[in-house]
Structures are given as structure tokens and as C-alpha cells.
Amino acid sequence: MLFLLAAVFCATPWASTPLALALGAALALLGLSDFNNPAKRLSRLLIQACVIALGLRVDLLTIAREARSGFLFAAGTIIGAFLLGFILERLLRTGKELTLLVSSGTAICGGSAIAAVGASIGASASAMAVATGAVFILNAVALYVFPPIGHALHLTDAQFGLWAGVAIHDVSSVVGAASHYHAGDPTSAAALDTANVVKLTRVLWILPCALFASWVMRRGGSAARTPFPWFILLFLVASAARTFIPPVALAADTVKIIATLGFQLALFLIGSGLSKAAIASVGWRVLLQAVLMWLAVAGVSLSIIVRAG
């Protein structure tokens, strides 16, 4: 009953994304959450549904412009993350399998990339759990620390959205951090819209990265089929509706509110799946590798964004 009441609260405007995540994690660590598998499935569906809904806020021309202008930036940060991952693999002796999983999660989109790359290389369940656990911890940290850093550096909404889309792992945490960031007008959704577009254009890199990881591992026979992120296509369909059906734009504010509440509930469910065993499974070497890679991607991308103005 307490779990259900907390879930309902997190789906209201009185909650916030950091509070929802913290509340879910607290209930899980206190042993008050017994819905790990259903919560995991529901959180994934919620995130995908909310991302699709956000497509109603952004027209296709904006997506094309962001994808074109940010292509080299995305390619550079993704390639750089993998190169750094291989360097740290030699120093920390974490192994190719974990390195590919952590690198893909850091470079692209957290758990979704880890799942896709893990499937392509036939990664063990334990390796995927460890990599996902490391990314989960850093997602939680980013949700709390990115907005204060953005305000301290006087980042505009668009700058913060770009930084969040590049440097925060999962879509849910990206939207969670960006949806409450306002450099000026508190009604502006520029940070959220920019972060959403940037992250989704990076998600498109899952397929080539999964193929690259499969080639690196050089496993015999054909690799397992890489899951395709179908929700991206539906996001583009929603964006096309926004572009070609003018009345859709009138619902933009309502869509933002509904999507924000949906992401809050999704983060609560994600937090409720945390366990002491999952935390313990994140060995210090892998966690250190994930932290160093994340700090490098976040630091370099922030520096480039600030310099570009």
C-alpha cells in the first residue's frame, strides 16, 4: 500500500524527478518494494511512451537541424568514449566485455545501449547487471548535480539541454534534469526540447556501436540480433504530426506536463528496482572506469559547449 501511494504521489505535480528517484530507491533499500520485474517493464514502457509524446513538441525541421549541426560533436564524443574505455581497460583490467558495455552506456544512452550491445556480443547476465548498476548510480548523481552546475556556469537553456543530452546516460535522467532547468523564463521548455532531441539523435548510434562491439569481441558465428529502438521511429511520427498538422502544436504545453509526470513515475519505478545486491555487484574497478569515462565525457563536452557560446 505504501509503495502504491508513493507511486501515485510521484505522478503528481507536487513531486519532482529527483524526489521520485530518491523515494523509489529508499523504499527498495528498506525492503518495501516487491515489484521489481513489473516495475522494470513498466518504467521502460513509460519512458518510451513519454519520449514519443515529446515528439509532439518538436517539428521535423528542428530535429534535422540539430542532427546535422551536432553530427561531428556526437561522433567525436562517442568515439572518444570508446577509446578512453579501451585505455582504462588496460589500466584497470576490467575485460573487453565489461568495457564495451560501460563504454556504450556512457557514450550513447545508458541501459538501452548496454542491453543492445550486450545482446550483440552475447554478454553474460552478470556483466550486464554490473554495467547497468554502475550507470544507474551515475544517472542518479547526474540528476542532482547537473542543474546546479549549469546555473553556476550561467548556461542557457539550450546549452544545458545540449550538455545533458550528451553527458547524462539514460533518457529518463536526461529529461528529468532538463525539465526543471530554467536559465531565465520559468515557462520555457528549451532545455527539455534540446536535451530530448540531442539524446534521441545519439540513440540512433546504438546500431553501429552494437555492430562494432560484435566485431571487437570476434565471437564465432553471427551475433545475436540487436534490438532496434522502435520508439525513435514513433517519436519521428509524432514529430511529423506536429510539423504537418497545425492543431497539434496547441497541445504542446499539455504534452509537456503529462510527459514530465510520466517521467517522474518512471524514475520512481527505476529507483524501486535498486537493491543492496545490485550495489554490491558494482566492483570498484568497473565503477571507477564508469566514473572516469563519465567525468571525461561530461567535462570535455561542457568545455566545448561553453567555448562555443
Q: What is the pLDDT of residues 257-274, one digit of tens each?
A: 888 788 788 878 877 877
Banded pLDDT at 297 (limits 50, 70, 90): very high
Is the CB of residue 183 less than 8 Å from the CB of residue 160?
Answer: yes
The whole-chain average pLDDT of the chain stands at: 82
| Nearest-angstrom CA–CA distance, 148 and 143 | 10
pLDDT of residue 35: 66
Closest of 29, 76, 52, 73 to residue 239, by C-alpha: 52
Out of 154-168, 259-273, 283-297, least confident range: 259-273
pTM: 0.74
Q: In whole angstroms, how far apart are CA 4 and each of 35, 94, 180, 196, 260?
A: 10, 39, 25, 29, 19
In three state form, how does the secondary structure of the chain look? CHHHHHHHHHCCCCCCHHHHHHHHHHHHHCCCCCCHHHHHHHHHHHHHHHHHHHHHHCCHHHHHHHHHHCHHHHHHHHHHHHHHHHHHHHHHCCCHHHHHHHHHHHHHHCHHHHHHHHHHHCCCHHHHHHHHHHHHHHHHHHHHHHHHHHHHCCCCHHHHHHHHHHHCCCHHHHHHHHHCCCCCCCCCCHHHHHHHHHHHHHHCCHHHHHHHHHHHHCCCCCCCCCCCCHHHHHHHHHHHHHHHCHHHHHHHHHHHHHHHHHHHHHHHHHHHCCCHHHHHHCCHHHHHHHHHHHHHHHHHHHHHHHHHC
pLDDT of residue 147: 92
User: Tens digits of per-residue pLDDT, 49-94?
Assistant: 887 887 887 788 877 876 777 778 888 889 999 999 999 999 998 8
Q: What's the grid cell of residue 269?
A: 519505478
Which amino acid makes up residue 126?
S
pLDDT of residue 153: 92
Q: What's the grid cell of residue 264?
A: 517522474
pLDDT of residue 298: 94
In angstroms and rounded to an integer, the radius of gyration of the C-alpha atoms of the chain is 19
Out of 57-61, 167-171, 233-237, 275-279, least confident range: 275-279
Distance of CA 270 to the CA centre of its chain: 12
User: Tens digits of per-residue pLDDT, 174-230?
Assistant: 888 888 787 766 667 788 888 888 887 887 787 788 778 878 876 544 445 555 667
| Nearest-angstrom CA–CA distance, 25 and 275 | 8
Is the CB of residue 237 less than 8 Å from the CB of residue 55?
Answer: yes
pLDDT of residue 85: 94
Banded pLDDT at 295 (limits 50, 70, 90): very high
| Residue entry with cell 570498484 | 284
| Structural domain spans, the chain | 2-308
pLDDT of residue 222: 47
Banded pLDDT at 244 (limits 50, 70, 90): very high
User: Tens digits of per-residue pLDDT, 6-35?
Assistant: 989 999 988 877 788 788 888 888 888 766
